[in-house]
């Protein structure tokens, strides 16, 4: 295992996990501006949990979505995927810290530690995929409603949280891929064979044994 690559992979994965938390809590998943007059402009923005409105004077008001089952399906799915992404990232951080070569946790069985670190890489890949699907699905619905001529509701644009989510997913996928590439998992067939050097006693026994098995043509009385 390459220790430097593992450290870089852990750093990228940790940053991606932090960005996933920021994405989930950010209120600007989608934004919309409505010009009421020259002086007053209202801004509407939403995330997965609430809808907010603010004006140019600095006043704002937010309200939580009243019912989970009344929400569109893509918002419910995005919530589930983002929470699952954070759970996968937490498991990936723990597994990576245990499986790193420079870590003292888990002893010095580097074959086992390599497998644990590889599992951490898989968790980070799953984190990146969940975040990417959630953010992209949400963005696709915003784009579809924006360009739909028959849509009569408020048309929103992509918010800053979506870009943070895409960055988080990219870093998680890169970190997980680096972990999988750096961990040399050795199976039983891949272990390096070491030649066994026979002892000197074995040579003596091997030379004496054939001499004892050679039949003698002389009678016992001939040696007296």
Split into its structural domains, the chain has a count of 1
Q: What is the pLDDT of residue 219?
A: 52
CATH of the domain at 123: 1.20.140.150
pLDDT block averages, 10 residues each, the chain of length 224:
78 93 91 61 84 80 84 90 95 86 65 81 94 95 87 84 95 90 53 48 44 49 47
Q: What is the pLDDT of residue 103?
A: 67
Q: Is residue 41 part of a domain?
A: no
Please say whether the beta carbons of 82 and 132 come within 8 A.
no
What does pTM read for this prediction? 0.75
Please say whether the beta carbons of 124 and 13 come within 8 A.
yes
Mean residue pLDDT of the chain comes to: 78
3-state secondary structure of 66: coil
Q: What is the pLDDT of residue 184?
A: 54
Q: What is the pLDDT of residue 108?
A: 66
Q: Is residue 214 part of a domain?
A: no
Structural domain boundaries enclosing 103 = 3-27+71-186
Tell me the residue length of the chain.
224
pLDDT digits (tens, 9 = 90+) for 130-165: 999 999 999 999 999 888 888 887 788 898 999 999
Place of tokens 């990146």: 128
Q: What is the pLDDT of residue 129?
A: 95
CA angle 131, 137, 141 (to 5 degrees): 150
Q: Is residue 192 part of a domain?
A: no
β pairing state of 50-55 and 60-64:
antiparallel
Q: Is residue 138 part of a domain?
A: yes
């Amino acid at each position: 295992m390459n220790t430097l690559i593992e450290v870089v992979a852990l750093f990228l994965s940790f940053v991606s996990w932090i960005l996933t938390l920021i994405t989930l809590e950010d209120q600007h998943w989608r934004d919309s501006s409505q010009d009421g007059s020259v002086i007053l402009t209202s801004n509407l923005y939403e995330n997965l949990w609430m809808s907010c409105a603010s004006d140019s004077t600095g006043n704002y008001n937010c309200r939580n979505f009243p019912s989970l089952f009344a929400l569109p399906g893509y918002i419910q799915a995005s919530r589930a995927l983002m929470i699952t992404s954070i759970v996968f990232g937490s498991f990936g951080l723990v597994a990576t810290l245990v499986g790193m070569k420079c870590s003292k946790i888990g002893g010095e069985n580097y074959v086992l530690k390599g497998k644990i670190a590889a599992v951490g890489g898989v968790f980070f890949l799953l984190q990146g995929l969940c975040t990417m699907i959630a953010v992209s699905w949400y963005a696709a619905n915003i784009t579809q409603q924006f360009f739909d001529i028959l849509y009569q509701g408020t048309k929103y644009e992509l918010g800053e949280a979506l870009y943070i989510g895409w960055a988080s997913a990219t870093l998680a996928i890169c970190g997980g891929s680096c972990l999988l590439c750096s961990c040399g998992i050795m199976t039983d067939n891949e272990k390096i064979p070491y030649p066994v050097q026979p002892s000197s006693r074995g040579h003596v026994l091997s030379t004496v044994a054939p001499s004892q098995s050679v039949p003698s043509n002389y009678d016992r009385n001939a040696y007296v």
